[in-house]
Each structure stands twice: as C-alpha cells, then as structure tokens.
Amino acid sequence: AQTVTQSQPEMSVQEAETVTLSCTYDTSESDYYLFWYKQPPSRQMILVIRQEAYKQQNATENRFSVNFQKAAKSFSLKISDSQLGDAAMYFCAYRSARENTGFQKLVFGTGTRLLVSP
C-alpha cells in the first residue's frame, strides 16, 4: 500500500521569504501522480500544484514550485515570496495512475501547518 509522509507538523515563514515543505512517499509503482492541496481556515481543499511521475520537469504554478525526486520518492513544495494568505494546512497527496477500481483514491499525508508572519 502506498503511504505519504509529511514530517513537518508546522513551519513558519516571514512575508516575502521562501519556505519549503517536505513530502516523501512510498510506492512500488512507476506511474503515478502527486499533488499539493492547501486548506485554509475556511476548510476548503484547494489544489495548488500537480506533478506527473513520468515528467522529469518540476511543476510550477506562479509562486509555487515543486522539487520532484523520483528515485528518492520525495516531492517538496517551495513557496516563494510568501504572503499572509498562504497561511494554511498543506497536504501532499498521491494517486496511482491505474484506473482499475480500488486505485482511484488519493492517499494523503497528515499535513503541515504553515504560519506566515508579517
């Protein structure tokens, strides 16, 4: 079974600085997808960024980028120029590329709470 580990329960960053959130995962599959979701105090789960395992290029979405290390099974999220609105829980998630029933689920880590100070 796949597992996702986020070893940092909480991280702090100052506005305009850069912060990196860590995520590692365990899988025996070679084709899969990885995601970062943001959950602000409103509780809404918001997709931040996605990465396909077959792509070597790291995904980027504006101030958010990932460092995807497939051999190390590592998928960290870098937030540049941090803003107060970035304060939230961040969840790393894995999904198998297989479409069979039983492989549809997202496997989540336990989350990292990001605090942003002025």
Q: Rule CB under 8 A: is residue 3 a binding residue for another protein?
A: no
23 and 49 Cβ atoms separated by less than 8 Å: no
Q: Rule CB under 8 A: is residue 66 a binding residue for another protein?
A: no
User: Which of positions 46-65 make contact with another protein (CB under 8 A)?
Assistant: 47, 50, 52
Q: Rule CB under 8 A: is residue 104 a binding residue for another protein?
A: yes
Q: Rule CB under 8 A: is residue 2 a binding residue for another protein?
A: no
Instruction: Tell me how far apart the alpha carbons of residues 33 and 30 are, in angstroms, rounded to a whole number.
Output: 10
66 and 84 Cβ atoms separated by less than 8 Å: no
CA-to-CA dists, residue 89 to 41, 42, 110, angstroms: 8, 11, 10
Q: Rule CB under 8 A: is residue 29 a binding residue for another protein?
A: no
State the DSSP code for 56: -
Residues that bind another protein (CB under 8 A): 4, 33, 35, 37, 42-45, 47, 50, 52, 91, 93, 95, 97, 99, 101-102, 104-106, 108-111
